């Protein structure tokens, strides 16, 4: 017989178990049966808390997206230099990923779904981060391209994370953030000069 838990505690336990299952096996490789078995409960008990696998998954990705975006936004201080703002934002991002690898796999793993019903969490965090970076870039650049540059930086950061997580002797989040910030801002410096020359 499964241990009886208060409803709130049971829901918290199920979300934690589901996080592990989805991160390890992807959305399509995980079933409600898998989650129930891993949690030591019956499937009807799982359905008492979540109406469907989609509902369970979307609740997880929404929560992760909110926490990641919040951590990044809290690291940004408008009075800092542009370089320091970029370093702090990237450092917060990489720190979150290092401390929450399951969550990163859930949002951006290769087996994460990309359909309209289940991909909204990853799109949410990508959009929120892109908007934040775009606001910073608008201090230097103007035009519709700013949104494109911001999205490129977010995509680059995700790619760097994928490689970074595979390294056994990896750099600290702060060191990685400084390296990537240097690369990003060096490229942007050329865009700023070009923009100034055109005006």
**Chain segment 24-71, per-residue pLDDT in tens:** 888 888 999 999 999 999 999 999 999 999 999 988 988 888 888 888
| Angle between helices 82-99 and 145-166 in degrees, nearest 10 | 40
Q: Where in the chain is the domain with CATH 1.10.10.60?
A: 7-50
Reply yes or no on whether the pLDDT at 189 is more than 70.
no
Distance CA 129, CA 69 (A): 7
For 7-50, CATH gives: 1.10.10.60
**Chain segment 102-117, per-residue pLDDT in tens:** 888 887 775 566 555 5
Higher pLDDT, 142 or 15: 15
Reply yes or no on whether the pLDDT at 197 is more than 60.
no
Q: Where in the chain is the domain with CATH 1.10.357.10?
A: 63-198
For 63-198, CATH gives: 1.10.357.10
Say which residue the tokens 């055109």 belong to: 198
| Angle between helices 32-39 and 7-25 in degrees, nearest 10 | 120
């Amino acid at each position: 017989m499964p241990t009886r838990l208060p409803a709130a505690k049971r829901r918290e336990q199920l979300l934690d178990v589901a996080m592990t299952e989805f991160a390890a096996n992807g959305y399509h490789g995980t079933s409600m049966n898998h989650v129930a078995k891993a949690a030591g409960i019956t499937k009807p008990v799982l359905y008492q808390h979540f109406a469907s696998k989609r509902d369970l998954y979307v609740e997880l990705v929404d929560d992760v997206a909110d926490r990641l975006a919040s951590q990044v936004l809290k690291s940004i201080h408008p009075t800092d230099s542009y370089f320091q703002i970029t370093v702090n934002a990237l450092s917060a991002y990489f720190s979150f990923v290092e401390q929450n690898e399951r969550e990163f796999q859930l949002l951006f793993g290769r087996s994460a779904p990309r359909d309209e019903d289940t991909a909204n969490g990853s799109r949410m965090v990508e959009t929120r981060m892109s908007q934040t970076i775009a606001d910073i870039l608008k201090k230097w650049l103007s035009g519709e391209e700013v949104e494109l540059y911001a999205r490129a930086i977010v995509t680059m950061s995700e790619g760097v994370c994928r490689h970074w997580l595979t390294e056994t002797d990896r750099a600290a989040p702060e060191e990685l953030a400084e390296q990537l910030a240097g690369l990003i801002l060096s490229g942007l410096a050329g865009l700023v000069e070009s923009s100034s020359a055109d005006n």
